[in-house]
Chain A
Amino acid sequence: MSFSITTAGRARRLAAAALVTAAAMGSLVGCSSSSSASDGPTTISLSMQNPDVKTADPATWAIIQAFEKANPNVKVEVTGEAVAEHLQKLSIAAQSDTLPDVFWVYKSNAEDMLKGGKLMNLSPVLSELGLSDKFPKSTVSNFTSGDAIYGVPYQGLLTGLWYNKKILQDNGLQVPVTFDDLLAVAKKLKEKGITTISNGANQSAFSVWSFLTDLDRFGYADKIDGILNSTGSFNNADFLRLYQHIAELRDAGAFASNVSTQTYQQAVDQFTSGKAAMLDAGVWGSSAIQKSSVAGNVGFWAGPQFKDGVGNQNIIMNVASAPLVVSAKVSKDNAKLAAVKKFIAFYYGDEAQQMLVDNGQPPVTTYKPKVDPSSQSALRAALDAASAPGVSSPESQPDLLVSTPVANAMYDSIYGVIQNQLTPQQAVDLVQAAVQSK
């Protein structure tokens, strides 16, 4: 009897403790929700794909600082993790309905979230702010699903091959134009023990930007819908030819012997220390290049033109990267909605776009930036390459048009050939298998 009384007493104490804990948590939740509704500053949360936004993404950081200065009633709470952790966090938040107000996410994930009603349709906001016409048409169509615009461009994706003019000149070489030229350069530099294209697969399998552009030189844009709806295949004669060309480059000794263990950052260091003739990267690399000893000798090349390619060869990848999206919950909170509108208006205003440029990024609107030709010579070279006469850009980078597993298979297929782990045929089969794996 006494045992049961004791047990009941314990149960009551446990229940009371649980109630007190719940009440305490409830009051905490109440405090946090009332903070945005009070007369004080409205806080909007911004979640990014960098562990340290201040140092890893100085352009975004500068914009946030300037925005808060211009809008003292709005505070931007920035958080960030590496991509995989960031996506994991978003996945958990999506399930518990606690998504950040504004966040970076892959296009394919954003489309899933939109279907699940987790994202806000930004179309009315962009019209209200007069921003619809400030974005290139391809950017808007890229982030449109049905009638909804679910995202705005985070940053520009202007990619290609940075090259060291001095290394080429010292070895009696011209900047290549065609793939055959590039092959000749690789063979000559191999004889001198110089790496032609610096890249690194370790922890950065995605660092194959120039080869993704090459896919577009073999008709990717026209083929991808068919590949995804099973009327076509990644295992086609055109793509196979591209992978054979990558194998030719490998056999010519174009890549570093430690490409498997080298990280992307080490590849950048290899180029900026003058030990490689080219770097497979994008305009984001301009800041590091500008600070290095090779800054005065650097140019930007859109990549090789193929005589056996498909369609327009004079292209450069100059597209919007993954989008910034807004949680659907924001539209239900007037204070937050107003703050997010202010943030979007500021981010895509001319002042912020110039800040992007000042931090080595191209503008994502139609804004014509001011670029100092001496202190921003690397960025100038990339922007000049993007606006060269006759050059055009695909609407999107190939990996941004497919699901994450297919994109990863694309990276693996390219690095697989570069590292001599896959034959060209195995490489295209690998991607096709990922496409078929629903």
Chain B
Amino acid sequence: MIAPALILFTLFLVYPVIYSLGFSFTKFQGFGSPEFIGLQNYISLGQDPFFWRALQNTVIILIVSIVLLVPGSFALALLLRRKVPGGGALRALVFGPAIIAPILVGLIWVFILDPKIGLLNRLLGFVGVAPVQWIGGDTLTPYAVALVFIWGSIGFAMTIFYAGRQVLPEDVMEASELDGATGFQQLRYVTIPMMRETFAIVTILMITSVFKIFELVYMLTGGGPVHRSETLVSYMYFTTFTNQKYGLGMALAVIITVLGAVVSVAYLALSRERKTA
């Protein structure tokens, strides 16, 4: 019975991955025949400073996002779960950015973060703060991308936490209250442990999302200046399609896939270890 699903999965997922892996060992510029060059593409990437910069930026975005996004969205979910007037509207408002296409999110934030015409620097200018190069410089851009990513994703993560919290058995909560647990103790010893799976899902989703960030960078800076703000995926796009180095681009794609899988599996393993401990 699983044959049709297996065929589709093989056709649309496994085959492209294997195909890309094969191409990553070739020199291919789009036209003509691919030439087998062994590990040369991987060696070239190791010597490419722009690749290391893209990796560094991706790691910065990953750390900032996970550190702020997971607890932030969880806190929002708890906050918006309370019965307050207009709670539903507030939840919809927070979820709003999640339904905006990332390319538009990038466009919106260009007009906020641009060092010359951006809203933020104009507002800061009113209180005498000198213009800050939020994007387009070589220091703050990955942090700015992370914050924009958080803005776009927090509603989605919050919704998962909200749903996860809703299905927790209320009798357990009541029992802990009867036992005299404070709000913080209930959160620390009941809610969070019972939502461990939800935390894992959100974290894994955010890790994989960070490894796919492309449109935000494309709109905010185009990867510049001189590839200083590239993420792994935006640099892969540049390498493959703009520079027409398909073999090298596929090597980058393989690295991104492996890194994403390793980080996700490592987190899951860590998470399971804590559960069994």
B:190-248 near A, CB below 8 Å: 218, 220-222, 224-228, 237, 241-246
B218 contacts which chain A residues (CB < 8 A)?
Answer: 203
Q: How far is the CA of A202 from the CA of B237 in the complex (A)?
A: 15
A258 touches B136 (CB 8 A): yes
Nearest chain A CB to B46's CB is how many angstroms away? 13
Known: A88-B30, A112-B32, A205-B222. A421 touches B228 (CB 8 A): yes
Contact between B227 and A412 (Cβ–Cβ < 8 Å)? yes
Q: Which of A113-121, A146-154, A362-370 contacts B (4 or more CB under 8 A)?
A: A113-121
A261 touches B241 (CB 8 A): no
- Given A94-B31, A109-B31, A203-B218, residue A256 in contact with residue B224 (CB < 8 A): no
Q: Which residues of A contact B176 (CB under 8 A)?
A: none
Which chain B residues lie closer than 8 Å to A84 at the CB level?
Answer: 237, 241-242
Given the interface pairs A258-B114, A261-B110, the reply to whether A421 lies near B225 with Cβ below 8 Å is yes
Q: Tell me if B227 and A261 are in contact (CB < 8 A).
A: no
Bound CA span A415–B245, Å: 21
Q: Known contacts A258-B136, A260-B137: does B246 contact A91 (CB below 8 Å)?
A: yes
B238's nearest neighbour on chain A, judged by CB, is A408
**Interface readout for B101-121 with A: 1 if CB under 8 Å, 0 if not?**
000000000100011110000
Q: Is the CB of B225 within 8 A of A416?
A: yes
Contact pick for A201, options B27, B131, B225, B245, CB 8 Å: B225
Q: Does A228 contact B (CB under 8 A)?
A: no
Whether B44 sits at the interface, judged by CB under 8 Å, is yes
Instruction: Determine whether B135 belongs to the interface, using a CB cutoff of 8 Å to chain A.
Output: yes
Provide the residues of chain A in CB contact with B227, threshold 8 Å: 412
Instruction: Say yes or no: A257 contacts B242, CB within 8 Å.
Output: no
A50 at the binding interface (Cβ < 8 Å): no
Q: Smallest Cβ distance from B260 to chain A, in angstroms?
A: 23
A118 to B, closest residue via Cβ: B31
Q: A residues within 8 A CB of B135?
A: 260-261
Closest CB in chain B relative to A407 CB, distance in Å: 9
A242 contacts partner chain B, Cβ-Cβ < 8 Å: no
| Also in contact, A421 and B241, with CB within 8 A (given A257-B116, A261-B135, A261-B220) | no
Contact B136 A260 (CB under 8 A): yes
Which chain A residues in 321-335 approach chain B with CB under 8 Å?
Answer: none
Given contacts A404-B243, A421-B228, A202 and B221 within 8 Å (CB-CB):
yes
Q: Is A96 positioned at the interface, with any CB of B under 8 Å from its CB?
A: no
A-B contact count (CB 8 A): 96
A 113-153 to B, binary, CB cutoff 8 A, 1 in contact else 0: 10110100000000000000000000000000000000000
What residues on B are CB-neighbors of A256 within 8 Å?
Answer: 116
Indicate whether A260 sits within 8 Å of B244 (C-beta atoms), given known contacts A109-B31, A112-B31: no
- Do residues B224 and A415 form an inter-chain contact, with CB atoms below 8 A? yes
Residue from B27, B222, B228 in contact with A203 in the complex, judged by beta carbons closer than 8 Å = B222
Docked-complex contact A260 and B221, CB < 8 angstroms: yes
Q: Decide if B20 is an interface residue (CB 8 Å cutoff).
A: no
Considering only residues 231-270 of chain A, those with a C-beta below 8 Å from chain B are: 256-258, 260-263
> When chains A and B are docked, how far (Å) is the Cα of A404 from the Cα of B228?
20
Chain B residues within an 8 Å CB radius of A91: 30-31, 244, 246
Bound complex: CA A90 to CA B30 (Å): 8
**Number of B positions contacting A (CB below 8 A):** 33
A203 to B226, CA, bound (A): 11
By a CB distance below 8 angstroms, the chain A residues around B271 are none
Q: B56 near A: Cβ within 8 Å?
A: no
Q: Does A311 contact B (CB under 8 A)?
A: no
Contacts of B27 in A (CB 8 A): 438
Closest to B244 in A: A404
CB-CB nearest in chain A for B218: A203
Contact A261 B221 (CB under 8 A): yes
Cross-chain contact A408 with B242 (CB below 8 angstroms): yes
Chain B residues contacting A412 (CB-CB under 8 Å) are 226-227
B29 near A: Cβ within 8 Å?
A: yes
A408 touches B224 (CB 8 A): no
User: In chain B, what residue has the closest Cβ to A200?
Assistant: B222
Name the distance in Å between B118's Cβ and chain A's nearest Cβ.
8
In whole angstroms, how far apart are the Cα atoms of A273 and B114 in the complex? Answer: 19
A202 to B221, CA, bound (A): 5
A90 CA to B29 CA, complexed, in Å: 12
User: Known: A90-B30, A258-B116. Is A419-B224 also a contact (CB below 8 A)?
Assistant: yes
Q: Are A419 and B246 in contact (CB under 8 A)?
A: no
Query: In the complex, A404 Cα to B31 Cα: how many Å?
Result: 12
- Interface status of B138 (Cβ within 8 A of chain A): yes
Are A422 and B31 also in contact (CB < 8 A) when A84-B241, A203-B218 are? Answer: no
Check A405 against B241 for contact (C-beta < 8 Å).
Answer: no
**Closest B-chain residue to A106, C-beta based?**
B244
B222 touches A87 (CB 8 A): no
Complexed CA–CA distance, A319 and B244 (Å): 24
Measured between beta carbons, the chain A residues less than 8 angstroms from B117 are: 258
When A and B form their complex, which 7 residue pairs have the shortest distance between CB atoms, in order from nearest? A260-B136, A91-B30, A258-B116, A419-B225, A84-B241, A261-B136, A112-B31
Q: A88-B241, A94-B30, A263-B222 are in contact. List 8 more A-B contacts (CB 8 A).
A: A91-B30, A257-B115, A260-B224, A261-B110, A262-B116, A403-B29, A415-B224, A419-B224
**Residues in chain A within 8 A of chain B (CB atoms):** 84-85, 87-88, 90-91, 94, 109, 112-113, 115-116, 118, 201-205, 256-258, 260-263, 403-405, 408, 412, 415-416, 419, 421-422, 437-438
A-B contact pairs, 18 of them (CB 8 A): A84-B237, A88-B30, A91-B30, A91-B244, A94-B31, A109-B30, A112-B31, A202-B136, A202-B224, A204-B222, A257-B115, A260-B221, A261-B114, A261-B115, A261-B220, A405-B245, A416-B226, A419-B226
